[in-house]
Structure 1
Amino acid sequence: MNRLTQSMILVLLGGAVLRITTLSTTYLNYVKPGFRPFLIAAGAVVFVLGVVGLIQEWRGSTQTDHHHHHGHAPRVAWLLTLPVFAIYLIAPPALGAFSAKSEEAPAQPVSALDAYDVLPAGKVNDMTLGEFIGRAWGDSSKSLSGRQVKLTGFAVPSAKKKDRWYVARIQIACCAADGIALKVAVLDAAMPPENSWVEVTGTWREPKSGKLPVGTVAPELDAVSVTGIPQPVEPYE
């Protein structure tokens, strides 16, 4: 691949990164919001390097006929631009039900015990799936008992039980590559379309037996209502 092709790819790659970080929120499908400034800076640097390379090639081509020997890069080299065009044309969506199906139980039970505040009674407590799972498995005071909560996530069918489904969400530390599935079993409610986003309101069903090791099965929620919603701008926890 000649320098002209390399510079073109740099321009396209830098432009793609700038497009998904400055003109849209698509970058949130791949990384945490805090990485946006770093992506913008990296995209700008790559874009500028590509532009500088194109300018240098253009100036060189006007000063010498040597470029006739390098003007035809191998056609296969242009296949390297396909990932760049994929970002422009078919940006991959956020991880969803397909990724969550591989795990029946929550990926990580909470490690710290008794670190939660008391939940107020008589109101719906909006919380993340991570907090709900942590309270269900790691709070000896059983602060979820008798408290109504609202969880937000996407619908995932059980891989083992036909009559069971989960409200799930992917939790990431920095990017989608390290994502893990957090899942809560929804009881007494019909499953909405797979991978559709919902708000589920209900109460925690305390396990009848304490013999199961913490985190080996998903905690359960007796549903009061299941409401369909658009996908949140920030899809990950």
Structure 2
Amino acid sequence: MNRMSQSLILTLLGGAVLRITVLSTTYTDYVKPGFRPFLIAAGVVVLALGVIGLVQEWREGGHRDGPHDDGAHPDGAHGHDHSRVPRVAWLLCLPVFAIFLIAPAPLGAFAARSEEAPARPPVQPAEAYVPLAADKVTPMAIGEFIGRAWSDHKRTLSGKKVTLTGFVVRSAKKDRWYVARMQMSCCAADAIALKVAVLGAERPPDDTWVEVTGTWIAPKSGKIPNGTAAPELAADGVAEIPQPIEPYE
């Protein structure tokens, strides 16, 4: 890889970053929305470095190949650039190809399909859970639903209808499936799956985004420790929806 190739890759990489942050919201498939300003700044810097490198190579190439260039160089290279970097540097092309050609989707059912104990969201103090209206359906994040089901001793979920938004994940048990959402602290690499078991409704295909309306099913026994099984929801209705702009919680 010569300097011209290096500069070209930097230009493409910077352009790819700006494409998913400035021209679209694709970046939310990989990182939290708050990182957008930093990604834009990084994209601008990388793009500028690439363009500067291309311009310098073009000017130096024109000088070497000019009518007054006799081809004599101290290193005997006859005007050719023999500078090289390790071949592994070509791996920088992979993010560019991934963004422009593949456009990886956000994490979904495959990443959340494990039947192991579900991830526990951050525990909120009891006073953080405000009472829910009894005469209307309350839209709620899956993380909050799990937190109320596991940590709210006042059982503010009891008898209250809520709507959860997430994607469909099949279960090994025939009587249920999961509505899930991935929660990340920084980027998709550290995402964990938050899942609520849905009972009483036919399962849509995996990875279908849905709004599930229903009521919490309180555990029949207090002997099962919180965190060993996903909370359960008796579904009243399931509606398919487009993927949200921000797919993660």
Q: Same fold by TM-score, threshold 0.5 exceeded?
A: yes
Task: Find 1:134's aligned residue among 112, 124, 147.
Answer: 147
Stretches of structure 1 that go unaligned for 5 or more consecutive residues are: none
User: Greater shift after overlay, 19-28 or 74-83?
Assistant: 74-83
What SS is found at the alignment partner of 1:95? coil
Aligned residue in 2 for 1:165: 177
Q: What are the Cα deviations for residues 127-175 of structure 1, in whole angstroms up to 9, with x where unaligned?
A: 00000000000000000001000000000011x3233210000001121
Query: After TM superposition, what 4+ stretches of structure 1 lie above 4 angstroms from structure 2?
Result: 71-80
Letter in structure 2 aligned against 1:17:
V
Percentage of matched positions with identical amino acids = 68
Deviation of residue 69 (structure 1)? 4.7
- Following the alignment from structure 1 to structure 2, what is the Cα–Cα distance between the partners of residues 102 and 176? 17
Aligned residue in 1 for 2:33: 33
CA distance change for structure 1 residues 86 and 118 in 2, over 3 Å: closer, same or farther? same
**Higher radius of gyration, 1 or 2:** 2
Deviation of residue 231 (structure 1)? 0.4
Deviation of residue 113 (structure 1)? 3.8
Answering whether residue 73 of structure 2 is matched by residue 60 of structure 1, we say: no
- Following the alignment from structure 1 to structure 2, what is the Cα–Cα distance between the partners of residues 163 and 31? 34
- Following the alignment from structure 1 to structure 2, what is the Cα–Cα distance between the partners of residues 77 and 176? 24
Aligned residue in 1 for 2:42: 42
Aligned residue in 2 for 1:197: 209
Aligned residue in 1 for 2:67: none
- Following the alignment from structure 1 to structure 2, what is the Cα–Cα distance between the partners of residues 3 and 126? 54
What SS is found at the alignment partner of 2:80? helix
CA distance change for structure 1 residues 147 and 57 in 2, over 3 Å: closer, same or farther? same
- 1:4-43 to 2 correspondences below 5 Å: 4-43=4-43
Q: Decide whether the 8 Å contact of 2:2 with 2:81 is kept in 1.
A: no
Stretches of structure 2 that go unaligned for 5 or more consecutive residues are: 65-70, 72-77
Q: Decide whether the 8 Å contact of 2:175 with 2:200 is kept in 1.
A: no
CA distance change for structure 1 residues 110 and 21 in 2, over 3 Å: closer, same or farther? closer
- Following the alignment from structure 1 to structure 2, what is the Cα–Cα distance between the partners of residues 198 and 234? 14
Aligned residue in 2 for 1:122: 135
What SS is found at the alignment partner of 1:68? coil
Answering whether residue 154 of structure 2 is matched by residue 154 of structure 1, we say: no
Deviation of residue 183 (structure 1)? 0.2
User: Greater shift after overlay, 198-207 or 112-121?
Assistant: 112-121
- Following the alignment from structure 1 to structure 2, what is the Cα–Cα distance between the partners of residues 74 and 116? 56
Q: What are the Cα deviations for residues 95-120 of structure 1, in whole angstroms up to 9, with x where unaligned?
A: 00011012543201542341311111
**Count of matched residue pairs:** 236
- Following the alignment from structure 1 to structure 2, what is the Cα–Cα distance between the partners of residues 217 and 134? 13
Letter in structure 2 aligned against 1:32:
K
Letter in structure 1 aligned against 2:243:
Q
User: Greater shift after overlay, 96-105 or 54-63?
Assistant: 96-105
- Following the alignment from structure 2 to structure 1, what is the Cα–Cα distance between the partners of residues 92 and 196? 41
- Following the alignment from structure 2 to structure 1, what is the Cα–Cα distance between the partners of residues 86 and 222? 65
- CA RMSD in angstroms, aligned pairs only: 2.0
CA distance change for structure 1 residues 48 and 204 in 2, over 3 Å: closer, same or farther? same
